[in-house]
Amino acid sequence: MTKTMRAVEITEAGGPEVLKPVERDIPKPGHGDVLLKIAYAGVNRPDALQRAGLYAPPPEASDLPGLEASGEVVALGEGVSGISVGDKVCALLPGGGYAEYATTPAAHCLPVPEGMGMKEAACLPETFFTVWSNVFQRGGLKAGEKFLVHGGSSGIGTTAIQLASHFGARVFTTAGNADKCRICEELGAERAINYREEDFVEVIRAEGGADLILDMVGGSYLPKNVKSLANDGRLVQIAFLQGPKVELNFAQVMMRRLTITGSTLRPQSDLAKARIADALREQVWPLLSAGKIAPVMDSEYALDQAADAHARMEGSTHIGKIVLKVGG
Ligand SMILES: NC(=O)c1ccc[n+]([C@@H]2O[C@H](COP(=O)([O-])OP(=O)(O)OC[C@H]3O[C@@H](n4cnc5c(N)ncnc54)[C@H](OP(=O)(O)O)[C@@H]3O)[C@@H](O)[C@H]2O)c1
């Protein structure tokens, strides 16, 4: 095997143009890690935040962007069991996915679901780990509950709609145009609200309020989310596209027994992520293998065109997942 690989690095904090192809040394798998030869790498909004200098990688993670990939296991670190060289997997990465090779804990790898291509498999880990841990584990969504997810056409949104409706929740969502709304309803949303034309607070309150809201927008949405929650409702915050600071009347939280919580996946411990992987393997991977749910694919770019992929994501015209072809 050669010692170097093609990769895309963030040359400085800035717009998509700061992503540049480079040669890097192939990383070595540490204790408990595998080395993956990457077929495809998923593109996620947190990659764009990292590129803009707003989301630093955790200590010891690769400085290269890329939080998920599909590929073949080509080497094992010490102490690895239950996975073999030659296995085809998709994996959550601590970083480093925009490259021909990356290392990640073996416990963060999942098999490529039966019948699924490597391209689609690359788009599973980041959104499925995030949605499972925030909607079902932290948010405690149950069958029959009313669930509102903002950004319904995003990678996160399309995953949340499918999983929540599969597990029997009534799903409501917001999106920025009629096309996006139509696709959200095809995926299982009972009602997709075009937030440019309708007030989501009115629609949700007319339904009696949401039991759980998954939000990535923040800012002006925070007080609106509080108004949209039913008594005993829960708000799970996973990002702040409109900013994290706002004036909020917390009396509502007290009087209506609301819960406001949130999390980010990347800084969590390897063990916490391995536990999410175990739950997904048991409860969600059979649904993917049976074709009951599937990632919604938007577009594919070559690794060297990562800047174009980021521009598409930040233009917000995409629906579903954007992927980089690395080895194919
Ligand atoms: N906490 C975690 O662990 C975690 C993990 C992964 C992702 N995330 C976050 O989850 C979000 C979705 O990620 P993704 O990769 O699925 O991204 P994505 O596909 O780019 O989705 C972002 C969506 O948000 C909407 N949007 C963008 N700016 C907005 C604004 N100012 N106000 C309202 N809506 C806006 C856009 O839809 P419209 O055009 O329809 O508005 C877009 O589809 C991101 O914010 C990301 O940082 C968090």
The Å distance, Cα 301 to ligand 1 centre, comes to 20
0.95 exceeded by pTM? yes
Q: 151-192, pLDDT tens digit by residue?
A: 999 999 999 999 999 999 999 999 999 999 999 999 999 999
Q: Which helix (H) or strand (E) holds 89?
A: strand 88-92
- In CATH terms, the fold of domain 4-124+266-325 is Quinone Oxidoreductase; Chain A, domain 1 (3.90.180)
For ligand 1, what atom is nearest to the CA of residue 240? 45
Q: Any idea what DSSP says for residue 309?
A: H
The whole-angstrom separation of Cα 34 and Cα 80 is 8
The whole-angstrom separation of Cα 118 and Cα 90 is 8
Strand bridging mode 191-194 / 170-175 = parallel
The whole-angstrom separation of Cα 92 and Cα 69 is 7
For residue 41 the two structure tokens come to: 């790498």
The Å distance, Cα 44 to ligand 1 centre, comes to 9
- DSSP-assigned beta bridge partners for residue 22: 7
The Å distance, Cα 240 to ligand 1 centre, comes to 9
Nearest C-alpha neighbor of 50 from the set 89, 18, 4: 18
Q: Report the residue among 51, 123, 134, 154 best suited for mutation to probe ligand 1: largest number of ligand atoms under 8 A from its CB.
A: 154
Task: Kindly list the domain boundaries of the chain, sorted by start residue.
Answer: 4-124+266-325, 128-262
Residue 255, burial from CB neighbour count under 10 angstroms (0-12, 13-18, 19+): exposed
Contact of 67 with 90, CB cutoff 8 Å: no
Decide: helix, strand or coil at residue 262.
strand
The Å distance, Cα 239 to ligand 1 centre, comes to 7
pLDDT of residue 294: 97
The whole-angstrom separation of Cα 271 and Cα 277 is 10
Q: 224-240, pLDDT tens digit by residue?
A: 999 999 999 999 999 99
The whole-angstrom separation of Cα 114 and Cα 290 is 8
The Å distance, Cα 218 to ligand 1 centre, comes to 11
Pocket of ligand 1 (CB under 6 A): 44-46, 49, 126, 130, 151, 153-156, 175-176, 180, 216-217, 238-239, 241-242, 263-265, 313, 316
- Give, using CA atoms, the residue closest to atom 18 of ligand 1: 154
- Architecture of the CATH domain 128-262: 3-Layer(aba) Sandwich (3.40)
The ranges of the chain with pLDDT < 70 are 1
pLDDT of residue 112: 98
Decide: helix, strand or coil at residue 214.
strand
For residue 257 the two structure tokens come to: 């027994």
The Å distance, Cα 157 to ligand 1 centre, comes to 8
